[in-house]
Amino acid sequence: MLVLSLGLGACSSNLTSTDSQREPAPVVTNNGPDTATRAPNQGLIGEPSPFDGMPGDGQVLSGLYNDEAATTDKRVALLLPLSGPHGDLGRAMRHAAELALFDAAADDFVLMPIDTEASYDGGRLAAQKAINAGAKLILGPLFSDSVRGAGEIAKQANVPVLSFSNNIRAAEPGVWVNGLSPEDQIKRAAAYSISQGKYRFAALLPQNEYGRQISASLDQIITSAGGTMGQVAFYQPGSDAMEQTVKNFAQYDQRHGALLARKRELGAAGDSASQRALQRLGGLDTLGDPNFNALILPATGGDLRQVSALLAYYDVDPANVQYIGTFGWNDSSLFAEPALNGGIFAAPEPGNWNAFSSRYRKTFGVEPPRIASLSYDSTALAAVLAGSDSGITMAGLTNVTGFSGIDGVFRLNADGRTQRGYAVMQISRSGVKMISPAPASFDAVF
């Protein structure tokens, strides 16, 4: 039986040269109009599932409402975009919540799905409906605008909100951002990089809300992990200026100029040792590395392919610079990119997700969206708390030992942020491998 141990105590001088005859810089044309604007939604690495054939597969799940429980304090609202362009996603997350009901909820637990229409006003209205219906906890909404709307109403009624957003700007006391935030993923991967001797950081970010959101936290993330944060540059995805941005960021002109100066120096010396050294420089285009040895690249998909290809073209060597990404790097179409070989990113360990997705597929006949785990874990948490002697309380939600769900260990902090225990994954030409496991509890990390 897979309830996933979710419960209390679980635990960058312009120089030119005719010396270098280079082909034009690579261009990738499959950048979507909003690639990397939203936090990526990618799957994890496939592994055989040890949980096939779990009870409940293919069975009819219990109803969401229970009239017999109408007078109890075990009423929880589920705020999702159940209509409009995001309706399919919302309904899939509702299905994940149904699985959690089957696994963790008692007969007197009441879950009330309410449509937010993926908007600020919709979030406010949905929260008001939930409160009017007696909800003691709100799960969701999904999008940050809806979270802000719902949070305004819920705080007035002292009803906690456990949202599915990963935008940490929406976090505040009593309104949790429980999604898989890119900032926390970068923090975990950066800490691993520092442990491996890579501590001089730089970042190359998309010029959009996603990139700006990450930029706001980088100094704190890297400093707290023991590293130093250097240059941060922004590029416009798919723009003509993108190549020049990467070239400047890589300090290509300075390093190319250093190579030309060294060649002139060795040529003027004229001795045999200098001539041998000059010959060794014959195949190079730059001299020296850039002033960073760890590079944060939160782009995904076509943007990431183009950025990494340009970095390689302008002599940023991934053998010397540790590339660091986010969960969105877990994309098989990226694994063959030479510039990404050896790159790392943080992610939940894949085992529990594989088991959950297998069960979801058997029950509903379709693949679940990757973020469906958030709905399952949150619903199971609500059910466990509702069934405890204390019920759903702020103290229960912020239990310092945390909880363990599909995405591993997590705990809710008083400031509205969620801490998660991630594994560190590394890209190779053969796929992805785990190089540092996720913690089993919060005793050994954070």
Strands 403-405 and 344-347 come out as unpaired
Residue count of the chain, please give it.
Answer: 446
Residue 7 has pLDDT above 80, yes or no: no
Question: Which one is predicted more confidently, 265 or 75?
Answer: 75
pLDDT band, residue 204 (cuts 50/70/90): very high
Comparing 107-111, 237-241, 321-325, 362-366, the range with the smallest average pLDDT is 237-241
> Could you give the CA distance from residue 116 to residue 147 in angstroms, rounded to a whole number?
9
pTM of the model: 0.83
- Do 429 and 336 contact (CB within 8 A), yes or no? yes
Residue 119 token pair: 């908007």
> Could you give the CA distance from residue 31 to residue 414 in angstroms, rounded to a whole number?
39
Residue 5 has pLDDT above 60, yes or no: no
> φ, ψ for residue 431 (rounded to 5)?
140, -140
pLDDT at 361: 96
Tell me the three-class secondary structure of 306-327, residue by residue. Answer: HHHHHHHHCCCCCCCCEEECCH
Q: What is the pLDDT of residues 79-93, one digit of tens each?
A: 999 999 999 999 999
Residue 228 has pLDDT above 90, yes or no: yes
Residue 326 has pLDDT above 80, yes or no: yes
Residue 432 token pair: 């992805």
pLDDT at 280: 84
Residue 9 has pLDDT above 60, yes or no: no
> Could you give the CA distance from residue 77 to residue 137 in angstroms, rounded to a whole number?
6
pLDDT at 286: 87
CA distances for 133 relative to 70, 111, 136, angstroms: 9, 11, 9
Nearest to 136 by CA among 63, 71, 58, 77: 77
CA distances for 344 relative to 216, 237, 347, 421, angstroms: 21, 22, 10, 16
- The answer, yes or no, to whether the previous bond of 173 is cis (omega within 30 of 0) is no
Residue 54 has pLDDT above 90, yes or no: no
pLDDT at 62: 37
Strands 137-139 and 75-80 come out as parallel
Residue 1 has pLDDT above 60, yes or no: no
Residue 27 has pLDDT above 50, yes or no: no
pLDDT at 22: 58
Mean per-residue pLDDT, 214-221: 95
pLDDT at 443: 67
CA atoms within 13 A of residue 95's CA, in its CB half-sphere: 26
Output the average pLDDT for the chain. 84
pLDDT at 192: 97
- Do 419 and 184 contact (CB within 8 A), yes or no? yes
pLDDT band, residue 23 (cuts 50/70/90): low
**Host H or E run for residue 219:** helix 209-225
Question: Which one is predicted more confidently, 363 or 25?
Answer: 363
Strands 137-139 and 161-163 come out as parallel
Residue 64 has pLDDT above 80, yes or no: no
